[in-house]
């Protein structure tokens, strides 16, 4: 039986020291009785001489999920490189019959990819890439693309494959697609449109290659649905657009994340949330959902950017005593704020912004770093509490955009010496030590150990634009 290459992917998803999730898409073919049965298959082996592939793993590629599927491999070794192959084939058999079929598979046209498992050492330094806002303008019914943004991912690949730089993960923290081209032109509204948008975005050659090599973690922002969501939403949007956008989001961004529970080699259940956490070496990550749980009453003090349940989970994670560096991933910045249009950020939700900051200071949670995107500039800054001479601080790193063909926010757009007055405790927090504001297309590399973070901002073509080290 000849295995065919996946039509989108593969994507290396959630990766621990002992397990990995591999995602791919097969092909839709309609026959008289309905969609033809399509099965995915993947196999894996250690990337060292003399190692053999494990028995292949088979899984359904479901038409309800745009012919995509997940392979889960367990019992892996920490900090170990593995080779893998993934593909698909048609069959009229049931899954259990496919698994029992002893005919050999022909892998001749399937390329070999690789990934490295996470570290189980709580003190192990890590290096990862993060960023947001990758614009891919689709015109003329999808027949022409502005693919300049894919060069950003080529530059990341060059660091990994040519410069041999350790890269343990890539975080894409919002606006992986722009479903609302130019806010009005060809805005997506149906499930078919959203799915085509993802296929196009994730099939560009360099981002596709990158996600096949490096564990990839994602969260959404507004443009996965529409600009400013849900501030300007209508009843039609909630009935038609939102369900379509979220279904496509689950397929292409969340299905390979830790959101879905895994039992053995299968994903089970339907998630009722889109936030999650993971760990690697000295770093803990909590990837928030700051878009789908928003509550927008008229009184600003009552507004919520995340649900009470998510806020509780964030607090429990912050206070879990792991001793590792805490990276809180949020699509929109906690600080520094922007001088205009800040209501869409954490600053537009003052009660919860205050609740989060007060908790970190009251509990003295050390080594907290916010990772954010959205604002079409990259920068770093620190936050201290006025009157606190202990040196305790929180760090904010912002990286945006991977690619945006229009003007970027300059330094003057940000409150880089601004104050945040808690509406709950009355404490005043002060932004300080803001770094250079990079107002061009870029990505950020963060190298972290227990002493601090090294922050490197690179331009779309791979040129170093700014570098600084911040000690905890």
Summarize pLDDT for 119-144 with one digit per residue, the tens: 999 999 999 999 999 998 766 555 45
Place of tokens 């700014």: 466
CA distance 277 to 287: 6
Beta-sheet strands, E only, within 36-192: 38-46, 57-60, 68-73, 81-90, 113-116, 126-131, 138-139, 144-145, 169-173
Residue 149 binned pLDDT confidence (cut-offs 50, 70, 90): confident
Please tell me the predicted confidence (pLDDT) of residue 449: 98
Decide if 138 contacts 195 (C-beta within 8 A).
Answer: no
Examine the pLDDT at 195 and tell me if it is beyond 70.
yes
Distance (Å, whole) CA 316 – CA 304: 19
Mean pLDDT lowest among 43-47, 51-55, 140-144, 198-202? 140-144
**At residue 208, does pLDDT exceed 80?**
yes
Buried/exposed 219-249: b ≥16 CB within 10 Å, e otherwise:
bbbbbbbbbebbeeeeeebeeebbebbbbbb
Supply 302's token pair: 């009552």
- The answer on pLDDT for 188 being more than 90 is no
For the cut 90, the answer to whether the pLDDT of residue 145 exceeds it is no
Q: For residue 32, what pLDDT is reported? A: 85
**Contacting residues for 1 by C-beta, under 8 A, at least 6 apart:** 89, 91, 101, 103, 104, 105, 106
Domain boundaries, the chain: 4-116, 126-471
Split at pLDDT 50, 70, 90, the class of 7 is very high
Q: Which CATH number applies to 126-471: 1.20.58.110, 3.30.1490.20, 3.60.21.70, 2.40.50.100?
A: 3.60.21.70
Q: Which of 142-151, 334-343, 453-462 has the highest mean pLDDT?
A: 453-462
pLDDT at 182: 59
Model pTM above 0.75: yes
CA 394 remoteness from chain centre:
22
Mind listing the pLDDT tens digit for each residue in 243-298?
999 999 999 999 999 999 999 988 888 899 999 999 999 999 999 999 999 999 99
Asked whether residue 88 carries a pLDDT value surpassing 80, the answer given is yes
Average pLDDT over residues 388-394: 92
The verdict on domain 4-116 having CATH code 2.60.40.380 is yes
Residues 162-180, mean pLDDT to the nearest whole number: 96
Residue 41 confidence (pLDDT): 98
State mean pLDDT over 74-92. 97
- Rounded Cα distance between 465 and 468, Å, is 11
**Region 199-214: what's the mean pLDDT?**
96
């Amino acid at each position: 039986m000849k295995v065919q290459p996946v039509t989108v992917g593969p994507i290396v998803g959630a990766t621990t020291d002992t397990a990995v999730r591999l995602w791919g898409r097969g092909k839709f073919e309609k026959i008289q009785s309905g969609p033809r049965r399509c099965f995915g298959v993947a196999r894996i082996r250690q990337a060292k001489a003399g190692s053999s592939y494990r028995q292949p793993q088979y899984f359904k590629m479901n038409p309800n999920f745009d012919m995509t599927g997940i392979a889960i491999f367990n019992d892996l070794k920490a900090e170990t490189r593995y080779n893998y192959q993934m593909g698909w084939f048609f069959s009229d058999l049931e899954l259990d019959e496919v698994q029992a079929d002893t005919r050999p598979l022909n892998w001749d046209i399937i390329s070999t990819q690789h990934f490295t498992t996470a570290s189980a050492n709580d003190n192990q330094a890590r290096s990862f890439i993060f960023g947001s806002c990758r614009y891919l303008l689709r015109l003329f019914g999808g027949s022409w693309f502005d693919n300049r943004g894919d060069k950003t991912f080529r530059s990341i690949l060059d660091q990994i494959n040519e410069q041999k730089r350790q890269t343990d993960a890539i975080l894409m923290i919002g606006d992986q697609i722009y479903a609302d081209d130019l806010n009005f032109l060809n805005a997506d509204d149906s499930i078919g449109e959203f799915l085509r948008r993802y296929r196009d975005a994730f099939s560009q050659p360099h981002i596709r290659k990158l996600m096949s090599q490096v564990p990839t973690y994602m969260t959404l922002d507004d443009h996965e649905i529409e600009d400013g969501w849900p501030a300007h939403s209508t009843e039609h949007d909630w009935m038609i657009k939102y369900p379509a956008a979220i279904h496509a989001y689950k397929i292409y961004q969340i299905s390979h994340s830790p959101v879905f529970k895994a039992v053995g080699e299968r994903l089970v259940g339907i998630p009722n949330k889109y936030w999650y956490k993971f760990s690697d070496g000295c770093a803990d990550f909590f990837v928030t959902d700051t878009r789908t749980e928003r509550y927008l009453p008229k009184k600003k003090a009552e507004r919520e950017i995340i649900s009470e349940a998510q806020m509780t989970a964030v607090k429990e994670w912050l206070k879990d005593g792991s001793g590792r560096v805490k990276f809180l991933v949020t699509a929109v910045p906690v600080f520094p704020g922007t001088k205009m249009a800040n209501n869409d950020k954490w600053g537009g939700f003052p009660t919860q912004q205050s609740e989060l900051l007060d908790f970190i200071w009251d509990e003295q949670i050390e080594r907290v770093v916010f990772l954010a995107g959205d604002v079409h500039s990259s920068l770093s800054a620190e936050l201290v509490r006025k009157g606190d001479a202990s040196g305790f601080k929180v760090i904010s790193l912002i990286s945006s955009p991977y690619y945006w063909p229009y003007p970027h926010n300059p330094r003057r757009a940000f409150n880089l010496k601004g104050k945040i007055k808690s509406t709950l405790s009355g404490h005043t927090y002060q932004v300080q030590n803001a770094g250079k504001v990079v107002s061009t297309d870029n990505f950020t590399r963060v190298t972290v150990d227990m002493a601090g973070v090294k922050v490197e901002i690179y331009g779309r073509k791979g040129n170093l634009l700014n570098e600084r080290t911040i000690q905890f």
